[in-house]
């Protein structure tokens, strides 16, 4: 786990927001439901994109960034990709801070 890359991924307002949104999807995504909202695999790109106000390509890239450093997991189901927080990495990040 590259510390610098991890911090870079977190050094962006929108990416940070996505991470907090994913903490309680029911709260942050109005029409979150088991269709594109699914049960527990996460939230699909479109929902996140709409909420962010940025373009589809930008959000897709941001999610890919978060995924690359392991902050979220990605699950493809049909035409949707569900993104979900990876609590394990986030916890590890906490420890990392301590070793800072």
- From the list DNA, its own copies, none, pick the one residue 90 interacts with, judged by a Cβ distance below 5 to 8 Å according to partner type: its own copies
- From the list its own copies, DNA, none, pick the one residue 78 interacts with, judged by a Cβ distance below 5 to 8 Å according to partner type: DNA
Report yes or no: 42 and 73 within 8 Å, Cβ to Cβ.
yes
Selected range binding DNA among 17-25, 26-34, 56-64, 84-92, rule: CB under 7 A: 56-64
- C-alpha 91/C-alpha 100 separation (Å) is 15
Q: Using the rule CB under 8 A, is 10 a contact of its own copies?
A: yes
Contacts of its own copies in 65-94 (CB under 8 A): 90, 93-94
Residue 46, sorted as left (phi over 0), alpha (psi -120 to 50) or beta, turns out to be: alpha
Binds DNA by CB under 7 A, chosen from 78, 95, 97, 98: 78
- C-alpha 75/C-alpha 82 separation (Å) is 5
Q: How far apart are the first and last CA of the chain?
A: 14
Name the residue among 65, 53, 60 with its Cα closest to residue 12.
65
Report the residue number, 24 or 56, with the smaller CB distance to DNA. 56
Q: Which residues bind DNA (CB under 7 A)?
A: 8, 11-14, 36, 44-46, 49, 54-58, 60-61, 63-65, 74, 76-82
């Amino acid at each position: 786990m590259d510390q610098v890359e991890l911090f870079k991924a977190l050094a962006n307002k929108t990416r940070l927001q996505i991470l907090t949104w994913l903490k309680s999807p029911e709260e942050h995504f109005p029409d979150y439901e088991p269709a594109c909202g699914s049960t527990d695999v996460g939230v699909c790109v479109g929902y996140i994109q709409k909420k962010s106000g940025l373009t589809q390509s930008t959000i897709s890239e941001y999610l890919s960034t978060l995924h690359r450093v392991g902050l979220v997991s990605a699950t493809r189901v049909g035409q949707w990709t569900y993104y979900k927080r990876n609590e394990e990495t986030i916890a590890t990040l906490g420890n990392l801070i301590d070793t800072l």
